[in-house]
Amino acid sequence: MAELESMVPVAAIVYLLLGIVSLILLNRSKNRIWIDFMVGQILGLCLFIQGLAYSSHSIILAFSDGDVDLQFFIFSRNSLFIISGFLAATIPLLFPYPILQNSSTIKYIISGILGMSLLSAVYMMMTNYRYFGITDIIFVIPFVLLISVYFRFLTEEIRNNDLTARRMSFAAGLVLIGIHGREMTWWLAQVISINDEFIGRGAIELGEFAYSYAPAWIGHNINATIGSIAILILTVGESWRASHKGMNGFLLVVLLIFAVGTISGIADYAVLDIVNSCMYSVCEDYPETYDIWYNFTTNALVYLFTPLIAMYIILNFDIIDSRSSENSWMSRIIVILMLLIVTSSMIELLQSFLPVSEMVSSAILAMVVAIFIGWEERIMLKLVEEGESISKKLISLDELNIPDMENNHLQLFSKAVGVMVVFIILLSAVYSAII
Amino acid sequence: MDSQKGDFSEILSNIFSNSEANRYIVASIIATIIMFSYTGYDLLVVRSDAVNEYTNLKEWSIVFETQNETMQAVETVQDDETRNVLFDLSEINIPDGFTIGYIDIIITSEEESGISGQCDSVAGDIIENDLTAQWNDPQNNLSGQDSSCLPIELDLTIYPNYDGETLTISAINEFQALQNWTDTGWGEGELSIDLDLDVNAPFGIDPLGSDTDEEITIDVFIVMFKPNISLIE
């Protein structure tokens, strides 16, 4: 059986590609309402920065066995993850229901978040990432906002038969999965409280450096709890909706993640002896099947499917103007490209442990390519034609303020983040060279 | 169209405008707090002893128990000949828990032929090959030469940094303390030794031509170790 391939380099390509294309398409989209423009920028930049972080991580993985000094890549990876985490936590403040609607609050609060992310990245670097996990507490308020929006519009759809409300609860659910997908696959382990034993093992394997301090653990526990509650909310909410409105694709996605979390929880419980072996004797390796399961579920969700969710949000919620002739071709290319990269990675992953010859996997890939090309128009129609900006719903409810802000002002955000990323990479280079 | 002014309290009142939804929101937040509390209690209180134990550095003493294996080859080498001798290390018996630490080689020759009995020049070299070893270790002695009938000693370190001395290590647990001494894969392959012989005769004259070769014995001492760890109180 071949060794399982790492998906991190693929994740780096997928995130970078989608981030760059989203930003290009957004800048070409004329007459976007401020909320779409702002969310598009944050989402594009978040993907791009995560792509950079995964690139650093890929280099670390590739050279970790040699004598190469990887300190610069470790600093830049960790700092970029912190910044992208702050950006991801900013999205629920604006999407699907913007709680920042006043031009001054948009300017000051978002500038404040950027400043905080920069300070956190620098502070974490100076303290050797001892408190790394504590930054996860920034997801508490976004979580409360997202479940509030989800419940409000889900209830309105079911009780008042407000069909347009679905867009809002659907968007809130997608953002919850996009941000907390990984933790959702650990929901059962968190409910029966065995994640702490895995953290204990991690502490021993990584040394005292990584998990030595309570603040970091509190952050990890908050994130795991939020993810677990989020998937339980979505499962109950979508099942409730399905009982009134019938089945839909999103319910299947939610049930799939719920099922993955259930099986993972049972698998986690089954390997507890191995987990604890680390504390009392010598760390035993996890069974190969367990590693394969996590690679196909949690890792695939984080590395490959989260960018697809982001792409779906960008296109289906009309954040970019994908209907214009200028953007149409590029949108089509990126959709097919993303689907192909993800599919080919999954086939490659399958090949790494199943005795499938390269000839067969190539044939399967060719079939997938043919299907995507043949259905390209249908896929795009499904993504774009059914899409509608959530701003229309908010305007119809008279709950969206249109502040007096030029697009140029909003674009300052991208420039500020760009400067911040360059600054943090330079700082990583200098700091890694002098310590 | 735009009666919403972006007032924060108005936005929040809009979000929480549905009383039925608010009940679900409150229930979800309570569930979150409850789950965070008991998982946090497990993590930070119940496990605090374990956490402290595994995050505080302790002093460990590592003593190496050793066992030796020997291999031998006797070769008759002709004058001016270079002979390569291979020792397949997979043929030795390595007890459970033991790893090859280093290899000592002793090359001996006894001058028996020729009129004068003058010692011949013998040279031995360990040839770098695919054998997994510390080829650049400063403790190595990969080449030796002698023309006074004394044994030639060669050394090759196999396991990184192993010198057999007792160590004191700071680590959070036994596993980490032993981490540098549980590598596998070292000492796999064949030990390759080149022998060179240059027959010596008084004033370079051997009228009977009787001293044309030499019997050379190569003794390979393979030192294996097993780390035994104990906590220094």
Give the C-alpha separation, B198 to A128, whole Å: 62
- What is the tally of structural domains in chain A? 1
Cβ–Cβ < 8 Å for A275, A203: no
Residues whose CB falls within 8 Å of the CB of residue A381, separated by 6 or more in sequence, listed in order: none
Residues B111-168 have pLDDT tens digits of 655 555 678 889 999 999 999 999 999 989 999 998 888 899 999 999 999 988 999 9
Instruction: Give residue B1's pLDDT.
Output: 42
User: What's the rounded Cα separation, in Å, for the pair A101 and A344?
Assistant: 42
Q: If you write DSSP's letter for every residue of chain B in order, what string do you get?
A: -------HHHHHHHHT--HHHHHHHHHHHHHHHHHHHHHHIIIIIITHHHHHHHHS-EEEEEEEEEEEEEEEEEEEEETT-EEEEEEEGGGS---TT-EEEEEEEEEEE---SSSS-PPPEEEEEEEP-SS-S-TT-TT-B-EEEESSSPPEEEEEE-STT--S--EEEEESSHHHHHGGG----TT-SEEEEEEEEE---GGG--TT----EEEEEEEEEEEEEEEEEEE--
Q: Is residue A412 part of a domain?
A: no
Residue A320, in any domain of the structure = no
Which pLDDT does position B2 carry in this prediction?
47
Going by C-alpha positions, the residue among B12, B20, B25, B4 that lies closest to residue A150 is B25
- Inside any domain, residue A46: no
Exposed, middle or buried, A344 (CB in 10 Å: 0-12/13-18/19+)? middle
CB-based contact A401 B17, cutoff 8 Å:
no
Name the minimum distance, in Å, from the CA of A81 to any CA of chain B: 24
Segment A396-403 shows an average pLDDT of 85
Q: What is d(CA A255, CA A237) in angstroms, rounded to the nearest whole number?
A: 11
Residue A330 lies in a domain: no
The answer for residues whose C-beta is within 8 angstroms of residue B48's C-beta and 6 or more apart is none
Give, as one character, the DSSP assignment of residue A137: G
CB contact under 8 A, B42 and A193: yes
Chain A interface includes B17 (CB < 8 A): yes
Task: Name chain B contacts of A100, Cβ cutoff 8 Å.
Answer: 6
Domain contains A336:
no
Of A200, A207, A224, the CB nearest to B176: A207
When CB atoms are compared, the residue of B5, B15, B28 closest to A233 is B28
- Scored b (16 or more CB within 10 A) or e, A146-177 reads bbbbbbbbbbbbbeeeeeebbbbbbbbbbbbb
CA distance to partner chain A, nearest, from residue B116 (Å): 55
CA A259: distance to chain centroid? 20
Q: Could you tell me the two tokens for A130?
A: 């001892």
**Residues 261..320 of A with a Cβ closer than 8 Å to B: which?**
278-279, 281-283
Best to test chain B binding among A93, A131, A208 (most B CBs inside 10 Å): A208
Q: Does residue A355 sit within a domain?
A: no
Poorest-confidence range of A395-399, B12-16, B68-72? A395-399
Nearest to B213 by CA among B95, B71, B78: B78
Q: Which of A105-114, A207-216, A381-390 has the highest mean pLDDT?
A: A105-114
The CA distance from A379 to the nearest CA of chain B, in Å, is 33
Which of A109-123, A226-240, B38-52: highest mean pLDDT? Answer: A226-240
Range of the domain at A167: 140-304
Q: What is the ipTM, given to two decimal places?
A: 0.90
What does each C-alpha distance from A349 to A262, A297, A304, B217 come to in angstroms?
Answer: 23, 12, 12, 54
Q: b/e per residue, A4-33, with b = 16+ CB within 10 A?
A: bebbbbbbbbbbbbbbebbbebbbebeebb
- Locate A163 and state its tokens: 């069909």
Q: What is the pLDDT of residue A207?
A: 58
Phi first, then psi, for residue A240 (nearest 5°) are -60, -45
**Nearest CA-CA distance, residue B43 and chain A, Å:** 5
The per-residue pLDDT for A435 is 81
Location of structure tokens 């000051």: A108
A408 domain-assigned: no
Phi, psi of A190 (to 5 degrees): -75, -40
* pLDDT-derived band at A123, boundaries 50, 70, 90: very high
Contact (CB, 8 A) for A132 and A202: no
How many Å lie between the alpha carbon of A236 and the closest alpha carbon of chain B? 11
pLDDT at A159: 92
- For A102, the closest of B6, B21, B57 (CB atoms) is B6
- pLDDT tens, position by position, A199-230: 878 776 665 555 556 788 889 999 999 999 99
Sign of CA dihedral A198, A199, A200, A204: positive
Q: Please tell me if residue B20 touches chain A, with a CB cutoff of 8 Å.
A: yes
User: At B213, phi and psi to the nearest 5?
Assistant: -150, 180
- Please report the DSSP string for A53-109 in residue order: HHHHHHHHHHHTTSS---HHHHHHHHHHHHHHHHHHHHHHHHSSS-S--SHHHHHHH
Return phi, psi of residue A101, to 5°.
-130, -5
For chain B, say whether A343 makes contact (Cβ under 8 Å): no
pLDDT tens for each residue of A130-176:
888 899 999 999 999 999 999 999 999 999 988 889 999 999 999 99
Condensed to tens digits (0 to 9), the pLDDT of residues A111-120 reads 899 999 999 9
Instruction: Kindly report, residue by residue over A241-267, the tens digit of the pLDDT.
Output: 999 999 999 999 999 999 999 999 999
Band the pLDDT of B31: cuts 50, 70, 90: very high
Lowest-confidence region among A86-95, A399-408, B86-95:
A399-408
Best of A401, A402, A405 to substitute, by most chain B Cβ atoms within 10 angstroms, is A401
pLDDT for the residue A208 = 53
CB contact under 8 A, A156 and B18: yes
Cβ partners under 8 Å of residue A398, min gap 6: B1, B2, B3, B4
Kindly state whether B175 is in contact with chain A, defined as any CB-CB distance less than 8 angstroms.
Answer: yes
**Dihedral (CA of A181, A185, A186, A192) sign:** positive
Nearest residue on chain B to A206, alpha-carbon basis? B176
Candidates B1, B34, B48, B54: best to mutate against A (most CBs of A within 10 A) is: B54
Taking the Cβ of residue B160 and every Cβ of chain A, the question of whether any pair is shorter than 8 Å is answered with no
Q: Does A155 touch chain B (CB under 8 A)?
A: yes
Which residues of chain B neighbour A398 with C-beta distances below 8 Å?
Answer: 1-4
Put simply, the answer to whether A226 touches B32 (Cβ < 8 Å) is yes
The residues that bridge with B124 in the sheet, in sequence order, are: B144, B195
CB contact under 8 A, B7 and A102: yes
Closest to A270 in 3D by CA, of A252, A251, A256, A289: A289
With tokens 């759809």, the residue in question is A157
DSSP A39: H
Beta-strand relationship, B143-146 and B99-109: unpaired
* pLDDT of A2: 42
Q: Do A152 and B17 touch (CB under 8 A)?
A: yes
Mean pLDDT score of chain A = 88
> Which of the four pLDDT bands, split at 50, 70 and 90, describes residue A97?
very high
Residue A47 predicted with pLDDT over 90: yes
Q: Which residue do the tokens 């300052």 mark? A: A412
Q: List strand residue ranges (DSSP E) for A109-204, in order.
A: none
Coil, strand, or helix at residue A405?
A: coil
A131, A360 contact by CB (below 8 A)? no
DSSP state of A372: H
Model confidence at B72: pLDDT above 90 = yes
Determine the Cα–Cα distance for residues A76 and A389; give it in Å rounded to an integer. Answer: 35
CB A394 within 8 A of CB A97: yes
What is residue B207's predicted lDDT score, i.e. its pLDDT?
Answer: 58
Question: Mean per-residue pLDDT for A268-275?
Answer: 92
Percent share of chain B, pLDDT over 70: 86
Residue bearing tokens 């956490």: B51
For A398-402, what is the mean pLDDT? 86
pLDDT at B212 over 80: no
- Widest Cα–Cα separation across chain A: 65
Residues from chain A that touch B57, judged by Cβ atoms under 8 A, are: 208
> Residue B195: beta bridge partners?
B83, B124
Q: Which residue has the tokens 């608010």?
A: B22
Cα separation, A208 vs A206, whole angstroms: 7
Q: Hey, is the C-beta of A215 within 8 angstroms of any chain B C-beta?
A: no
B4 with A400: Cβ contact below 8 A: yes
Chain A partners of B40 at a C-beta cutoff of 8 Å? 218, 221
Share of chain A above pLDDT 70, in %: 95
